[in-house]
Structure 1
Amino acid sequence: MQWYERALTGNEKILGKNHPSILHTINGIAVIFSNQGKYDEAMQWYERALAGSEKILGKDYSLIFDMWYERALAGYETILGKDHPSTLSTVNNIAIVFDNQGKYDEARQWYERALAGNEGILGKDHPSTLNTVHNIAVAFLNQGKYDEAMQWYERALDDCEKILGKDHPSTLSTVHNIAGVFSNQGKYDDAMQLYKRALVDRERILGKNHPSTLNTAKALRITIPRFINAAA
């Protein structure tokens, strides 16, 4: 491990942090931690390698990293059990990898596995459960399956309002996202109403210059002429 860390420091200094050779060293460190049964540390290094590969070589290169996640998952399942939060977190990470690769059907299968585990172990009201519900909605949205996306977004909104409150940033983010689904469906009146709700609440809670507020304001400006043209 000391030699890997020494090599990493040297390579970053000489080649820069974005050189492809750096990825091999990072991978080596991850493998060592994995072989030692230190899966939390291994996952941190695997995720660093994945992020680096996507940045340097593009997302297609990240296909190589699928087996790393699956190896980590096997370790978690063996040592901690299939229902341990760390195991479920890894299941969710595998889903994210598939999502990033545009493999939305596979992503949803892994998200749904994570959701079932989170609901059973952590409960339906746990933030990790809410996050997985939202991720499933996004996967459907990315596929252009707006009806299915809406069903999951509405569930996420109901849960967020009940658990986090109507003014929570995650709730407002979900309101904004549902408006986006309506816009994609050509339901501009419904979209405008929700964008206005999100904008008013974000201005009040986050401020008028917050990036999330500005994003909603921009979306509303785009939607208004679409609504006018559709109504004409």
Structure 2
Amino acid sequence: MGRWFNRSRERDDEPPREPESTGPVIEITVTHDGRSTTETIGGPTAFGLQYHAFHEQYGATDPRTLEAGSRYARELMRNNDIDEAVAIYQEIVGLRSSALGPEHPDTLRTKHSLAFALWQLGSHAEAERVQRDVYEARRRVLGDGDAETLRSGNNLGWLLIELGRMDEAEPLLRRVADGMARTLGRDDADTLTCQMKLAGIQHLQGHSQQAERALRDVVQRMTRTLGPTSPVSLQARSNLLVVLLDSGRAAEAVDAARTLADDAGRALKGTDGVLLHARHSLARALAGVGRRPEAIRLLTDTLPDSERGRGVDHPGTLEMRTLYAQLLVEAGDRRAGPEARAALAGCERVHGPGHPDTEKARALVRLTR
């Protein structure tokens, strides 16, 4: 079964309370042998220096310090430094809890972001625990229909999907989707994204016809309200292809997959997760209609982008590498052995020795001997 596309780590569906200005820029002048040179520092380093400077100047629990810490953590997330972002979010949660209380809205906002960072780090069980705490607290403090409560429920539902707890995720996301439709509007991007997740659960539970109908409706409404090439519309179109391909309908999917890959290529950068997912689906479709050489060429070009953009051990990269190895084995290509062994090593690291994906990669390795 094809992988259902996951969200990007660039945002956690909860924007800052106030619009963010341009980040700090620090100039450092160094004098040596009578000559001075000035260097400009921005990005995470500048955000971090600002946070620590505010800590010294205003104190650990001053609102300016805490907000600077949150900005620093968000910048770390944008730059893929997830471990450090988790550490900073944990620090800010502790400070806000002691200064404002554990259920103050600002504390809960930071805990929501911490849960998302843990999720992106791969600590799904811990992320689920933190996100559930936030969701239940927001239900008590803000009410079930509040937009922030719904965002927490939305993320909690997705985490439950990642943990394979579909029976818990389905009623939660259905409740959240209904709440979003009332609070945000039926055609709001968050509402439609939540409905897309519900369709994903239906597909994973084997109800592919229901999932296809739901996804076609979501794609139609996203296209109408957000445009066909908005990132979330492209994601929904890509997920619809997963349903078609998993149902053995490659001939029906191949033209749509080509159009989607072209649209995503024009709208997104080469390492974007939605574009990578679309190209993976196109490779599956090409292979499914007997166009293996085209699929191999596409994956040869796309796999390095996935490694750079998502990481060598990202589940999406591993699934792409496994498909690549499978096609190389079928073609009798000499690259099959190294790629199959790399897929097996990655699956063992990420999934463990007994996981179905690991067993599939192991079978490919045996075929190359």
Q: Please classify the TM superposition score into its range, dividing by the shorter chain length.
A: 0.7 to 0.9
Compared with structure 1, are the counterparts of its residues 15 and 157 closer, same or farther at alpha carbon in structure 2 (3 Å cutoff)?
A: same
1:180 aligns with 2:200: yes
Residue 106 of structure 1: how far off its partner (Å): 0.7
Q: For 1:53-89, what per-residue CA distance to the aligned partner results, in whole angstroms no more than 9, with x for missing partners? A: 52xxxx4xx1x44332222122212222222211111
1:85 aligns with 2:105: yes
Instruction: Structure 2: give runs of 5+ residues left out of the alignment.
Output: 1-23, 30-37, 250-369
Is the Cα contact below 8 Å between 2:219 and 2:236 reproduced in 1? yes
Is the Cα contact below 8 Å between 1:92 and 1:132 reproduced in 2? yes
Counterpart in the other structure of 1:51: 78
1:121 aligns with 2:164: no
Counterpart in the other structure of 2:154: 134
Residue 15 of structure 1: how far off its partner (Å): 8.2
Compared with structure 1, are the counterparts of its residues 82 and 196 closer, same or farther at alpha carbon in structure 2 (3 Å cutoff)?
A: same
Compared with structure 1, are the counterparts of its residues 48 and 226 closer, same or farther at alpha carbon in structure 2 (3 Å cutoff)?
A: closer
Q: Which has the higher helix share?
A: 1
Q: For 1:27-47, what per-residue CA distance to the aligned partner results, in whole angstroms no more than 9, with x for missing partners? A: 232123245223112221233
Residue 95 of structure 1: how far off its partner (Å): 0.9
Query: 1 CA distance for matches of 2:223 and 2:79?
Result: 35
For these two proteins, the number of residue pairs brought into alignment is 212
Residue 28 of structure 1: which of 22, 26, 49 is its match? 49
Residue 226 of structure 1: how far off its partner (Å): 3.2
Query: 2 CA distance for matches of 1:220 and 1:26?
Result: 40
Is the Cα contact below 8 Å between 1:46 and 1:68 reproduced in 2? yes
One-letter code of the match for 1:72? Answer: I
One-letter code of the match for 1:99? Answer: W
Counterpart in the other structure of 1:159: 179
Counterpart in the other structure of 2:322: none
Residue 228 of structure 1: how far off its partner (Å): 5.4
Q: Give the stretch that moved more between structures: 173-182 or 30-39.
A: 30-39
Residue 196 of structure 1: how far off its partner (Å): 1.3
| TM alignment of 1:166-205, pairs within 5 A | 166-205=186-225
One-letter code of the match for 1:172? Answer: L
TM-score by length of 1: 0.78
Is the Cα contact below 8 Å between 1:33 and 1:42 reproduced in 2? no
**What is the RMSD computed on CA atoms of the aligned residues?**
2.7
| TM alignment of 1:204-215, pairs within 5 A | 204-215=224-235
Query: 1 CA distance for matches of 2:171 and 2:112?
Result: 20
Q: Secondary structure at the match of 2:247?
A: helix
Compared with structure 1, are the counterparts of its residues 152 and 228 closer, same or farther at alpha carbon in structure 2 (3 Å cutoff)?
A: same
Is the Cα contact below 8 Å between 1:95 and 1:108 reproduced in 2? yes
Is the Cα contact below 8 Å between 2:111 and 2:134 reproduced in 1? yes
Q: For 1:77-107, what per-residue CA distance to the aligned partner results, in whole angstroms no more than 9, with x for missing partners? A: 2222222211111111211121111111111
Counterpart in the other structure of 2:93: 73
Residue 139 of structure 1: how far off its partner (Å): 0.8
Residue 69 of structure 2: which of 34, 42, 48 is its match? 42
Q: For 1:102-149, what per-residue CA distance to the aligned partner results, in whole angstroms no more than 9, with x for missing partners? A: 111111111111112211221111110000000001111222332222
Residue 225 of structure 1: how far off its partner (Å): 4.6
One-letter code of the match for 1:138? Answer: W
Is the Cα contact below 8 Å between 1:189 and 1:227 reproduced in 2? no
1:145 aligns with 2:145: no
Task: Work out which of the two has the higher radius of gyration on C-alpha atoms and give 1 or 2.
Answer: 2
Counterpart in the other structure of 1:226: 246
Is the Cα contact below 8 Å between 2:185 and 2:191 reproduced in 1? yes
Is the Cα contact below 8 Å between 2:147 and 2:180 reproduced in 1? no
Of all paired residues, the percent bearing the same amino acid is 19
Counterpart in the other structure of 2:273: none
Query: 1 CA distance for matches of 2:110 and 2:74?
Result: 11
One-letter code of the match for 2:187? Answer: D
Is the Cα contact below 8 Å between 1:172 and 1:198 reproduced in 2? yes
Compared with structure 1, are the counterparts of its residues 196 and 41 closer, same or farther at alpha carbon in structure 2 (3 Å cutoff)?
A: same
Is the Cα contact below 8 Å between 2:222 and 2:233 reproduced in 1? yes
